[in-house]
Every structure is written in C-alpha cells, then in structure tokens.
Structure 1
Amino acid sequence: MEIIKINDFNNHTLSESDIIKRILSGEKELYEILLRRNNQKLYRVIRSYISNTAEIEDIMQNTYLKSYEKLYQFKHHSSYSTWLIRIGINEALARLKTKSKVLHLNTAQNLNSNSILERPDTSQLNPESKIIRKEAKQLLEKTIDSLDTKYKTVYILKEVEEMSIKDIANCLNISTANTKVRLHRAKHMLKEKLFEITTNVDIFEFGFSKCDDLTEKIMSIILKN
C-alpha cells in the first residue's frame, strides 16, 4: 500500500477516484487531501453568498462533513469538486433561508479581511506598489460583492477558479446557455460599475494611502520649521 506523507497532501499525484476509493476502504486520513485541494475553491463559492468569515467557515465545515458522510453516494460522472460545490451552495442557501426567518437580512455586511482574489505574491514589489495593488484588489472585490449572487457566483467560478462552463452549469443546476448569459452580464456590470467609480470626480477625495503618506510627510516638514 502506498504511504502518504503530510507533504504530499496538496499534490495531484493521486487521482480523486483513487483517493475516494481508498477513503471508502477505511483510509479516512486521506480525506485531508480532498480538503486541501478544494478549500480555496469552496471558500470562494460560499463567499459569493455569505460574507461573514465565521459563517463561511461554519458552512465549509458542514459541507465537508456532509460530503464525507455521503461519500459512498458520489458517482464519478463529474469531478468531486463539482459535487462538493453543489453541497456547499445548498448549505449556504439553507443558512440564508434560516436567517431570513429569524432576522432581517443585513444588507450592509462588513467586508472581511479574507480575499476573494487572493494570489501568492511572488514578485518583489516596493511598498508603494504593494499598497496600490492591495487597494486595487480591494476595489475590485468590493465591486464584485455588489453584483447579485447569481452573477457573482458564475463570475468567480469562471474567472477566478477557472472552471469550465459545463462544470459551472452542473454546480448551479442551470443550462450552459444560461451560464454563459450570466457570465456575460456579470462582466458587463463589472465594467459599468468600475467605470462609474473611476470617472467619479470624488474618487480621489480621500486619496489612496500614498496620498496620505505624502500629506503626512509634508505636514511633518512644515510643523518642524
């Protein structure tokens, strides 16, 4: 029997089919491989529906537990990630439905610090460039957040997670044609919203961080004299 080391958990040397068969045969520890391979994707999908970090993690936990309990039902017609995402979406929708019965939905939830579009930064950027990149990313994330869920989810799955139109359609239980329409509309709305922001005469009223830094430097010089 092949021995799996901790460092091998995130690689793709084992196929999903082999991993699932071995888990069902009693090697429960191999389920960690499926978690590590799908954590980011599942997070981003659920983040399309709910923005509270604690709730997202709770839903992810429930999704993984349900997936594990029902793993014997998984049919290998589609990828495990597609099957997992469908469970996650159902969990997120169930959570929203429960909240709507008990509370008035809060339409102005705070943006959490976790990133929708987090990418490893391997380049050696200077501090100013890092600030600009961070603020540009935050602006894009906020704009994506402003989209309706049905458009936001399709956009994230296609443009961020790079899933195929067919897989997205399977995840959301909609046709491929509908998926393409939603993606097109999402891109169009993002363009319009970003254009509105960048053409707003007040956009630099508060300034980026580099403007704040420059102001502080100038005032420091003035106050010293």
Structure 2
Amino acid sequence: MTETLTDEAIVSRVLQGEKHLYELLMRKFNQQLYRISMSIINDDKEAEDIMQITYLNAYRQLASFKHQSSFGTWITRILINESLLHKKRKLKQEKILMENKYDDHYPETPLTNLMNKELKEALEKAFAALPEKYRIVFMMREVQGMSTAETMEALDLGESNVKIRLNRAKEMLRSELNQYQHTSQLFEFNLVRCDAVVNHVMKAIN
C-alpha cells in the first residue's frame, strides 16, 4: 500500500518509472514548502511558482538524492535556494525600476487577499514585519515543527545561530504570540491551491 511507503521508498519507485507516486511527496510537503517560501518571498502567487519550479528541479535531480538527509530536508534546501534567487532577481528589477523612475505602477502585494480572519491577518502582518533571517527560522521551527538539526542543515547554520534567531523572533512577536496561539493557521495552503501545484507539476513530468 502506498500509504505506508517512506519518502525514500517513494523516491526509489519514482526513479524506477512510477512517476505518479511523485504526487504523494508533493501533497505531503506542499504546506511546508509554501510556508517557508512565503517567509522569504512574502507573495503567495510567486511562492506557488517557486514551489512548482522546486518540485520540477527536484524531480530532475532525483537520481542525485543520496539519502544522506531526509527527502524533506533535501527539497527544502532546493526551495530555499530558489526562493532566495527569486528574491535577488526581484530586488534587482525593483532597483532598475526605481533608477528609471518607472515604479509608479509597481504595486505592493498585500497578504490580505487570502485572509478571512482577523486573527490570521494580525499574525501574518506581525510575522511579515520580522527580518527575513528571523522569519524563516521561526517558520521552520515553530510553525512547521522542523527539528533544530533539520533547520541547521537546511539553512547551513550552526545550532547556536538557529536558537538565537528563534529566540529573537519570539521576542519580537511576543505580544502577538501571547494573544494568539494558533500559529498552525499561518499561511494555510488549502486543497484547491494544493491541487493546482500538484496538477501543474505532474503535467510537466508526464
């Protein structure tokens, strides 16, 4: 039964030709990757695009997955690299627009489009205001429940740096976190969005 397969077993079977099983990995990690990309990009549509690129790149590199770390950690690193590259390109484009004074019609992208609850709006606004290095550690450790070791490996940080950044993020969010405890609602990736990413990637693979 595919329900009992480990991530590594699924990878092996995909490499043997069972491409359809790749969908199981995407549906498992969609929420995690979306949240982590959002902590860097802060734009839901761009985060979805980055997820699709990440899944396609991971699929193409699947044979190079050496099982030295978990599949989740491996694909998270790919996502982080892609998100940072995207952000770098975007900042460069913004700089060019500013220099050429063509930025009058370059809108900010508010997160409130998808937010229906005051709680989620308050949490996400407070979270978005954090510096990136604190946002991503907080997202990985507190929201996604990734271990310190997984976070260290994914971000190439030492244990003390992970702990310091997490504690700093908590300090900066303390008033909001004391008032609101439902961090599981942060950047929810609903089924419709999940299906859209999965269908796009599977179509490209097949």
Q: TM-score range by the shorter chain?
A: 0.7 to 0.9
Match of 1:29 among 20, 45, 49: 20
TM-score in terms of structure 2 length:
0.76
Which residue type is aligned with residue 111 of structure 2? L
Match of 1:19 among 10, 17, 36: 10
In structure 2, the CA distance between the partners of 1:107 and 1:161, relative to structure 1 (3 Å rule), is: farther
Structure with the greater relative contact order (CA < 8 A, sep ≥ 6): 1 or 2?
2
1:177 is aligned to 160
In structure 2, the CA distance between the partners of 1:87 and 1:141, relative to structure 1 (3 Å rule), is: same
After superposition, the CA RMSD in angstroms is 2.2
Contact 1:63–1:91, Cα closer than 8 Å, also in 2: yes
CA distances 1:94-150 after superposition (whole Å, capped 9, x unpaired): 1111112222398954114446xxxxxxxxxxxxxxx8xx21222111101110111
d(CA) in 2 for partners of 1:68 and 1:109? 30
1:164 is aligned to 147
Which residue type is aligned with residue 121 of structure 2? Q
Match of 1:147 among 127, 130, 139: 130
Contact 1:53–1:112, Cα closer than 8 Å, also in 2: no
Q: Which runs of 5+ in 1 are unaligned?
A: 5-10, 116-130, 198-225
d(CA) in 2 for partners of 1:107 and 1:184? 33
1:111 is aligned to 111
What is the aligned residue count? 169
More helix, by proportion: 2
Q: Which runs of 5+ in 2 are unaligned?
A: 99-105, 180-206
Q: State the percentage of identical aligned residues.
A: 43
TM-score in terms of structure 1 length:
0.69
Q: Which portions of structure 1, spanning 4 or more consecutive aligned residues, are displaced by more than 6 angstroms?
A: none
- Note the 1:10-89 alignment, pairs <5 A: 11=3, 13-89=4-80
